[in-house]
Structure 1
């Protein structure tokens, strides 16, 4: 967007930042952008991120929740909580999600699957 951002673009900036989207001018909109109107006029186009960056954003968000430390430095219980949070947010529906999370945590895929199985067993018992 230009320096003279539309008020709608300014209002939705925190939301766009949270989901990894960007605002572009309606003139720059692509067919897959979401065009938002203000008083029946195009105001801002929202460019949504691709799925390939979704998992990176989720991992970054979880890292911030755990004090900004590298996820590999977390203890076992914290890593299990990370996996549980990522499961709740759908991280493992993304292709290669388990492998990516395992690398971020510094554990094997097998360990991530064990954490997931433990989480599912705990949920069933509750």
Structure 2
């Protein structure tokens, strides 16, 4: 659904993020990405500044499963929040893809 919205030029979407039945109205796609990151912080139980490498990899997997990387600029935004380079995010994504094979 989000893929169709993005490819159709949507500038805002309505997503269900987090626990079933929790519906958040998101204004922009950037806001949607920020909410996905906040949701990941809640699931991990700590803020992004204190995440270990394993937790960062877990969050990248969660965000990938939720379609976060379909959003333009997501890699840069997520890398900034995590305090890593965009290359590190791509390495995490490559490791996820390799483990799925």
TM-score category (smaller protein): 0.7 to 0.9
RMSD: 1.6
**Partners of 1:20 and 1:49 within 8 A in 2:** no
Taking structure 1 as the reference length, the TM-score comes to: 0.60
* Residue ranges of structure 2 left out of the alignment (5+ in a row): 1-19
TM-score (structure 2 length as normaliser): 0.75
Which has the larger strand fraction? 1
> Within 1, Cα distance between the matches of 2:84 and 2:59?
12
Q: Tell which has more relative contact order, 1 or 2 (C-alpha 8 A, sep 6+).
A: 2
Determine if contact 1:71/1:105 at 8 Å carries over to the other structure: yes
Q: What are the Cα deviations for residues 12-55 of structure 1, in whole angstroms up to 9, with x where unaligned? A: xx95xx4421xxxxxxxxxxxxxxxxxxxxxxxxxx53212110
More helix by share: 2
Does residue 88 of the first structure (1) align with residue 92 of the second (2)? no
CA distance in 2, matches of 1:19, 1:50: 15
Matched residue pairs, number? 82
Stretches of structure 1 that go unaligned for 5 or more consecutive residues are 1-13, 22-47
Deviation of 1:91 after TM superposition, in Å, equals 0.5
Equivalent positions of 1:67-106 (< 5 A) are 67=45, 69-106=46-83
Correspondent of 1:111 among 84, 88, 93: 88
